[in-house]
Amino acid sequence: MPQDEPIQPQTGQQHGAKESSRRNVLGGVGTGLVAAPALLAAGVPASAQQQGGPAGAAPSVAPRSLEDPRTAYPRPPFKRQTQDWPGLASRMDPKPDHGETSYIGSGRLAGRKALLTGGDSGIGRAAAIAFAREGADVAINYLSAEEEDAREVVQLIRAAGRKAVPLPGDIRDEAFCQRLVADTVRELGGLDILVNNAARQTAQTSIADITTEQFDATFKTNTYAMFWITKAALPHLPPGAVIINTASVVAYDPPAMLLDYAATKAAIVAFTQALAKQLAEKGIRVNAVAPGPYWTPLQPSGGQMPEALEQFGAQSALGRPGQPAEIAPVYVLLASPQASYASGDVLGSTGGRTSP
């Protein structure tokens, strides 16, 4: 499949011009992306900010209808579908919701500088969009085969008025991981949020079917890269910085067909908890998120057997898989000062399944 030309990083001059334009727009009309932080943090729609009222008085807010979480998003059965690794969100049916049209920022990460691996699609994409709309500049890593999805993320970050830095490359290579951090620090002018999210998942019915090459690729992507990137980032992280690692519910309840993947996710939990103890004296918080079944390109590109994908998420208590947009707020919370006492913790988002 021919690839488009790589995305070019936004220059500081371009970012400054766009930031100035954004401030002018927000000064006149609330766009719904980053406006009136205190109100939006409390769940107040941007439209309610125009109603005014006495200083200190609660704004008048139109009631918002409740939504049944069981039917809020698509439920199985799904169309049988497969993709070559690493897969694209744009080719999934139904397409995942990453919060492109729904996430509203509240200024909780204003001025922050974030690096996310696997930021082109799935959970990483949703977190990148949310971080930008919360006021952070964002660097995303992805494979060159994921350029199509990555371009959309970069556009969404820039539409939020923030700087986007696309950094394609294979994190299974230690030297690249070191360059990834160095390039992020240079382009963003620092780093204070690190999200180790990229993952490799290949379902196999038997250990006899897991090759050394697969085992090696899974561990290098999921655990070695986390170690290399975190080690390279530490000299740049100031007190107050955060590290968020993506674990999984399978670390606690491993499916038979995900032997190597589940092992890496259990390692991520232990890595997170041990590192949190190490870095507490530096004022750096380290946490993990343990998702349940989420509708991402990881699944049709080998993460599930094709026949199993048709009923993906049906076993959760809510009867469906999660959408990336539903977990992005968890990453925002852990990255924000509101979670200042959370370190060494693992937050689950599993649709009612047993989790940490």
Query: Tokens standing for 88?
Result: 């694209």
Question: From residue 229, how far is each of 190, 224, 257 by CA, in Å?
Answer: 15, 9, 28
Collapsed DSSP state (helix, strand, coil) of residue 288: strand
Residue 262's Cα: distance from chain center in Å?
A: 19
Whole-number Å distance between alpha carbons of 126 and 119: 8
- Residues 73, 142, 252, 261: which is the catalytic one? 261
Burial of 205 (0-12, 13-18, 19+ CB in 10 A): exposed
DSSP 4-58: PPPPPPPPHHHHHHHHHHHHHHHHHS--SSB--HHHHHTT--GGGGGG--STTPP
Query: Tokens standing for 71?
Result: 């039917």
Residue 53 neighbours by CB under 8 Å, 6+ apart: 59, 60
Say how many Å lie between the first and final Cα of the chain, rounded: 41
CB 193 within 8 A of CB 112: yes
Please tell me the number of Cα atoms within 13 Å of 265 on its side-chain side: 27
Query: Tokens standing for 111?
Result: 């001025």
CA dihedral 312, 197, 347, 204 (to 10 degrees): 40
Q: What are phi and psi of 287, to 5 degrees?
A: -140, 170
β-bridge mates for residue 137, sequence order: 113
Q: What are phi and psi of 54, to 5 degrees?
A: -60, 150
Q: For this structure, is 294 an active site residue? A: no
Whole-number Å distance between alpha carbons of 336 and 202: 33
**Catalytic residue list:** 261
